[in-house]
Amino acid sequence: MINVTRSSMPTIEEYMNEIKDLWDSHWLTNMGAKHRELQAQLEGFLGVPHVVLYTNGHLALENVIAAMNFPRGGEVITTPFTFASTTHAIVRNGLTPIFCDIRADDYTLDPDKLEPLITDKTVAILPVHVYGHLCDVDAIESIAKKHNLKVIYDAAHAFGVTKNGASPAGFGDASMFSFHATKVFNTIEGGAVCFADDSMVQVLNDMKNFGIRGPEDCAYIGGNAKMSEFQAAMGICNLRHLSEEISKRQKVVERYNSELSSISGIKLSAPQDGVKSNYAYFPVVFDGYKYTRDEIFAKLAEQGITARKYFYPLTSDFECYKDFPTAGGDKTPVAKHVAANVLTLPLYADLSLEDVDRICDIIKK
């Protein structure tokens, strides 16, 4: 059995050593010492002035959208080629998602299709660095500036990626990272928001703790989205091993590339200029190949190998959005085509090269 992913963990001794302090302090959550330590480490690692930690990436995204105080009914231009979380975070804030098509080469939001979607109700752009492929941030920023729109990046896949040596955490008005168990860097469940605006620090920290500002003061109608000490301790351990994690993934990806890159009808992702990848996913698009995506998915499953139709369906085709005026993948033909033909193959640090060969042999045969 080979699963599509497998969480990387420190040794049990390393984790036990990290959480030992908690038996002395009896401080398990609510921005304790581990939380503050991980936050400081991530501010250094990502090279941004502010990181606010969350119990998961989704609530981080919901909170940062809420913190921007957009008028209800405002429109947010986004991609349908993403995980449910991105679109749900917009809608759960009382905003309307407007779906923009993606580029055929890296599957990120296509800035050339963005401007015609802007109306007097548009308040923000919410692109996704999908698979860790970075969006065309310069083009998006210039459009956002011209129309006075906020840009919030879903950077859930992009932790550990750099462009010309810098992390993507500084792009736009804010970026959300996910530290879910299935991501390149995990805190079991977890997430963070990064941003430059000093005034957002207090707002986000209050919002993730019921909106409580002080013992006798509640400033916002907030929820509860705090990262616990056990999650932060896992993050402190895993951060020590991040570069090893990424280089092990790189070896797996290089093997896949050498096995599959010369086969006609199989489209792999090309490296982006100046970008150092985190090797988070290995998406393959079967376009004109002798077998369809669904046939290969089924063949792999027969042999105990789980690949993922990631991302299919488009979020704009979800049942829960069927009554939305903006629903339906027909308005985003590139995204629809990619969603119908893409498969992400198993990829994790300890996936053996023999297993990669086995997976590639099944695909070839």
Ligand X SMILES: *Cc1c(COP(=O)(O)O)cnc(C)c1O
Q: Between residues 150 and 255, which has the closer beta carbon with respect to ligand X?
A: 150
Q: Using the rule CB under 6 A, is 156 a contact of ligand X? A: yes
Binding of ligand X by 154 (CB under 6 A): yes
Tokens at 317, concatenated: 């085709």
Q: Does 122 bind ligand X (CB under 6 A)?
A: no
**Choice between 34 and 157, CB closer to ligand X:** 157
Task: Evaluate the CA torsion angle 284, 289, 294, 297 in order and state its sign.
Answer: negative
CB 52, min distance to ligand X, A? 14
Between 185 and 286, name the residue whose CB sits nearer to ligand X.
185
Residue window 169-198: x/- pattern of binding to ligand X, with contact defined by CB under 6 A: ---------x-x----------x-------
Place of tokens 């250094």: 44
d(CA 28, CA 64): 25
Give the span between the Cα atoms of 200 and 212, in whole angstroms.
15
Of 67 and 192, the one with the shorter C-beta distance to ligand X is 192
Instruction: Annotate each residue in 10-49 with x if it binds ligand X (CB under 6 A) or - if it does not, as one string.
Output: ----------------------------------------
CB of 5 or CB of 86, closer to ligand X: 86
Shortest Cβ distance from residue 79 to ligand X (Å)?
9
Between 85 and 238, CB nearer to ligand X: 85
Identify each DSSP E strand in the chain by its residue range: 50-54, 75-78, 96-99, 122-126, 150-154, 162-163, 174-178, 191-195, 212-214, 217-218, 266-267, 275-276, 283-286, 342-344
Looking at 3-11, 55-63, 276-284, 340-348, which segment touches ligand X (CB under 6 A)?
55-63
Q: Which is nearer to ligand X, 82 or 205 (CB)?
A: 82
Question: Of how many residues is the chain composed?
Answer: 365
DSSP structure class, residue 7: -
Taking CB under 6 A as the rule, does residue 289 contact ligand X? no
Nearest alpha carbon to residue 80 among 119, 130, 145: 130
Closer residue to ligand X (CB): 29 or 260: 29
Applying CB under 6 A, what is the total number of residues that bind ligand X?
A: 14
Q: Return the number of other C-beta atoms located less than 10 Å from residue 148's C-beta.
A: 8
Distance CA 265, CA 99 (A): 28
Could you give the 3-state DSSP secondary structure of residue 191? strand
Residue 207 CA: distances (Å) to CA of 83, 218, 231: 24, 10, 19
- The 3-state DSSP class for residue 102 equals strand
Tokens of 362: 């099944």
Give residue for tokens 């955490």. 169
Q: How far is the CB of 264 from ligand X (least distance, A)?
A: 30
Binding region for ligand X (CB under 6 A) out of 53-61, 98-106, 161-169, 233-241: 53-61
Q: Which residues from 72-91 bind ligand X, rule CB under 6 A?
A: 82-83, 85-86
Tokens of 82: 């993403």
CB of 280 to ligand X, least distance (A): 9
In our burial notation (b when 16+ CB lie closer than 10 A, e otherwise), range 36-51 reads ebbbebbbebbebebb
Binding test (CB under 6 A) with ligand X, winner from 57, 127, 329, 346? 57
Amino acid at 342: V
Q: Which of 34, 35, 50, 58 binds ligand X (CB under 6 A)?
A: 58
Closest residue to ligand X, judged by C-beta, is 57
Return the sign of the alpha-carbon dihedral for residues 142, 269, 175, 170.
Answer: negative
Q: In this complex, which beta carbon is closest to ligand X, that of residue 240 or of residue 308? A: 308
Beta carbon of residue 316, minimum distance to ligand X (angstroms, whole number): 15
Question: Per CB under 6 A, does 56 bind ligand X?
Answer: yes
Cross-strand partners of 330: none
Q: How far is the CB of 183 from ligand X (least distance, A)?
A: 6
Figure out which of the listed residues 52, 95, 124, 128 binds ligand X, where binding follows CB under 6 A. Answer: 128
In this structure, are residues 190 and 57 in contact, taking their beta carbons and an 8 Å threshold? yes
Contacting residues toward ligand X, per CB under 6 A: 56-58, 82-83, 85-86, 128, 154, 156-157, 178, 180, 191
